[in-house]
Amino acid sequence: GIYSAQSCYAATFRGSTQCPSWKLVWKSWAPPRVKFFHWLANQDRCWMAERLARLRLQHHPRCLLCDQAKETIQHLLLACPFARQTWHTILDWLRMPIQAPDQEPTVMEWWLRAKEHMPLTHRKALDSIALLVPWMIWKHRNACVFDNAMPSIDSLVDRIK
């Protein structure tokens, strides 16, 4: 139709990937590398065994933290028994009146659901935990992969605290 600055701006982003919960990540206080990690995790673009296998690169076939399932970002951050115990311990320590991630397919979906049920006075704490815990699990996993560290819930929880 008719040219306008608004139509030009909209055309610039036609066909781009959208993240419905972008404000949770990009408007947060977190350092840029944590924001970038969450954005990659939400887009399923982290270098996990599943992605490495598709590219025929060397990888561990199973999660290094639990050795029970194929390593995916959803498993690592939500379904892994190691991660679940970490979430439960941290949320219990903070006395947050919400459940740890359970059936949600992504951290973002859990975060959005938890935010709805969280009192306003606790939302900043929830935002901090939703950014910090996955980042620290990711860093712990990387220490196991690249530095041959042993998985330890106690040391991870101490670092998060």
pLDDT tens per residue across span 116-125? 888 888 888 8
Write down the pTM of the prediction.
0.84
Range of the domain at 78: 19-160
Is 148 a member of any domain?
Answer: yes
User: Does residue 128 belong to any structural domain of this protein?
Assistant: yes
94 is a domain residue: yes
> Is 63 inside any structural domain?
yes
Rounded CA separation 6/81 (Å): 48
For the segment 61-96, what is each residue's pLDDT rounded down to a tens digit?
Answer: 899 999 999 999 999 999 999 999 999 999 999 998
CA nearest neighbour of 85 among 133, 49, 119, 13: 133
Query: Would 109 be classed as within a structural domain?
Result: yes
CA distances (Å), 54 to each of 50, 51, 124, 155, 160, in order? 7, 5, 38, 32, 33
Residue 4 lies in a domain: no
Classified as helix, coil or strand, 51 is helix
Residue 105 maps to a domain: yes
When divided into structural domains, the chain yields a total of: 1
- H or E, element range at 24: helix 22-26
Q: Domain for residue 107, yes or no?
A: yes
